[in-house]
Every structure is written in C-alpha cells, then in structure tokens.
Structure 1
Amino acid sequence: MEKSEATTIEIAESSKERKGKAPLLGAPVAFEQAKVAGYKRGVAIFDLILRISAATAALAATITMGTTEQTLPFFTQFFQFQASYDDLPSFTFFVIAMSIVTGYLVLSVPFSIVCIARPVAVAPRLLLILCDTLTVTLATSAAGSSAAIVYLAHNGNSDANWLAICQQFTDFCQKTSGAVVASFVAVVLIVFLVVLSAIGLKKH
C-alpha cells in the first residue's frame, strides 16, 4: 500500500511539472512568429513608399514627354520647323507604355496596403511580384528606346548623315531628356519593388 501511494504521488507531481513547462515551450515559437510578422510588415511599409515614389516618377515622365513640343521662331509661309513627341514612334510608345506603368502602380497601392494589414499573406505578394516583373520589362523597353533617340538628337550620327537637332530644338531635347531620366528612376524603383516582394515571400 505504501509503495502504490508513493507511485501515485510521483505521477501526480510529474504531471504537474509537465503542465507547468508546456507554456514555456510555446512562448519562443509565438515570439518568433510575431518577430517574422513585424519584419514583413516593415518590408510592406517600405514597399508602399517605393511604390508611390515609382508612380510619381512614371507620371512625371509621361506628362513631360506627352507635353513636349517646340516650334522654332523662324519660319516662312511654306515651311515651319516644329518638333513634337508624336513625330517619333519611340516617343509615342514611351508615352503609352509609361501611362500603363503609372496606372498599374496606382492600382497596386491597395494590394500593398493589404500586405501591411496582413503581413503573412502570400497571395497579394505573389501577385505583386508577378505584375511588377512585367511592369519593369515594359518600363525598361520604353526608357531604353527613347534614350537611343535622345542620344541621336544630342549627338547625331555622321555615318548615317543624321544631324544633331538639339542645337536648334533645345527645349524639346531638354524635356525629352528629363522624361527619359524620370523613366529610368521609375525602373530602378520598380526593380527594388520586385526585390522587396521576393524578400516578403520568404518564410523566415
């Protein structure tokens, strides 16, 4: 009888010790999850700031290029020297492409806010990284093709007998150059957005 009572007391004490230790084992796991959620929320906030900045740069590039036009003061009854962005297909493509990029970046802001509210959600981040990758491709192609035209406008090409027109159309060249610079700023920011989305998809 004494042995059975002693065994019963030991089992009861051991069960109490286990119950007391169980919450201590779960605490580090909960702390780690909260730490990861806080880290991802910080990444999402930075993503939102970069997204708004990229949309601003893309909008500035679109407006600058879309309003670029210059008419030289000397003209005759039959000839008028005028330069406009829609005279060149590359600049027309630039305006259309950067308009699409601007529209996408504005529409993607709510998804970035969802990532802040739900930092561990995977679907919004996966959608953003896919769309951002397509957007950076479109923006890069528009900026690259327009940069080539701006280079020819400034320097010309003696082999092809293409004359530099920036000595006459100074305002036109300044605006187109500014638009191209703004578009490359948008490209760099979108690249950072892709990287941030990839970081946010990591489990740890």
Structure 2
Amino acid sequence: MSSANAIHIADAAADGKGKAATVAKPTRFKGGWRRGLAIFDFILRLFAIAAALAAAAAMGTTDQTLPFFTQFFQFKASYDDLPALTFFVIGNAIAGGYLVISLPFSIISIVRPYAVAPRSLLFIFDTIMVALTTGAASSAAAIVYLAHKGNSSANWIAICQQFNDFCQQTSGAVVASFIAAVIFILLIVMSASALRKS
C-alpha cells in the first residue's frame, strides 16, 4: 500500500516536472522575444536622440543677415524672432534630454525583459514627449510654410527667396523633429505591445 502511494507520488512529481518543462520553453522563447524588442527600443532611442538634438541644434543656430544693408538698417532673420521657433528649440532640447535619461531604463528592459515598472515609466513619458515634439514640429512647420508661401490674405510675404539659407535650415530642422515624433510613436506602440503581453 505504501509502495503504491510512493509510486503515485513519484508519478505526480514526474507529471509536475513535465508540466514545468513544457511551460519553461515558451517562457524562454517569450523572454527572448521581449529582449529583442527591448534591444530594438534602445536602438530607436539612439536614433531619436540624434533626430531631436539635430533639430534643436539646426533651429537654434539659424541666423541669416542679408548682404545689402546700411549702417542704420539691415534685414535679418533669426529663430528667436519668432516664439513658435523658440518653442521648437526648447521642446526638442527637452525631448533629446529625456531620451538620454531614458537609456538606462531601456537597458534595464533588456536585462530584465519581464520588468513591468521600467516599461510603464517609459510608456508614460514617451507619450508626453510625442505630444511635445509633435506640437513643436507642427508650430514650426506653420511658420516655415508661411516663410515659403506667404499669405496674400494677411499681406504676409514669402521671405524664402531672400532668406534662402534660413528657410533651408529651418525646413531641415522641422523634418528632423517629425522623424523624432514618429520614432516616439513607434516606441509607444512597442511598449504597449510588451505590456499587453505581460
């Protein structure tokens, strides 16, 4: 009787091990998938840092003075003449700084693929940053559009024929900022996917 019980207990233990082994394989597979996603997240953050800081630097150094001027009067275009472009520089600088700070949390997600807290924190702040970068890029895009096209109804003339360098540099900065915003959206989607599968 005791031997029968012993066999039954051993069988149950063997069954338990079998179940544990069956569960362990998908767990390792999911961990690998999550780790791969976290590595991709880290790489995307590096690209976003480059895009956001390049946008801020390009706009922050935009300054053009036309060659024809007198001692008392000259034509000059600078980003700090327009509040929307100043906001653009500040917004992208903040986004770039945040991305640098977020790198250690992204590394934690690589080392510990199942950690929910770092991903949740990144998800929240990435959402804030996508709003900031999109707002900054959109406001600057409106100004750059007016610089290129003007507005006859408001008697605003297009200045890009005169301030060509200014317009090219601001246009490039706006494109870089929109690239950063798109990367933020990808980061949010990836974080949401990882959290949903927790």
Q: TM-score range by the shorter chain?
A: over 0.9
1:23 shift after superposition: 1.1
Q: Tell me, what secondary structure is at the counterpart of 1:83?
A: strand
Residue 4 of structure 1 is matched in structure 2 by: none
CA distance in 2: counterparts of 1:28 and 1:69, whole angstroms: 65
Q: Tell me, what secondary structure is at the counterpart of 2:115?
A: coil
1:29 shift after superposition: 1.2
1:12 shift after superposition: 4.1
Q: Tell me, what secondary structure is at the counterpart of 2:159?
A: coil
Residue 66 of structure 2 is matched in structure 1 by: 72
- Superposed, which structure 2 residues align to 1:119-138 within 5 Å? 119-138=113-132
CA contact (8 A) 1:44 1:200 kept: no
Q: Higher mean Cα deviation, 33-42 or 62-71?
A: 33-42
- Superposed, which structure 2 residues align to 1:15-26 within 5 Å? 15-26=9-20
Ranges in structure 2 where 5+ consecutive residues have no aligned partner: none
Percent of pairs with identical residues: 59
CA contact (8 A) 1:70 1:83 kept: yes
Residue 43 of structure 2 is matched in structure 1 by: 49
CA distance in 2: counterparts of 1:154 and 1:134, whole angstroms: 30
1:9 shift after superposition: 5.0
Q: Say whether residues 1:116 and 2:116 are aligned partners.
A: no
TM (norm. structure 2) is 0.95
The amino acid that maps onto 2:173 is A
1:35 to 25, 29, 39: 29
CA distance in 2: counterparts of 1:129 and 1:8, whole angstroms: 57
CA distance in 1: counterparts of 2:116 and 2:3, whole angstroms: 50
The amino acid that maps onto 1:36 is K
Task: Spell out, residue by residue over 1:106-130, the C-alpha distance to the aligned partner (whole angstroms, 9 max, x if none).
Answer: 1000100000011100000000000
Q: 1:63 to 1:8 in 2, by over 3 A?
A: closer
CA distance in 2: counterparts of 1:115 and 1:12, whole angstroms: 44
The amino acid that maps onto 1:78 is F
Q: Higher mean Cα deviation, 173-182 or 11-20?
A: 11-20
TM (norm. structure 1) is 0.93
Give the greater-gyration-radius structure (CA).
1
Q: CA RMSD in A?
A: 1.3
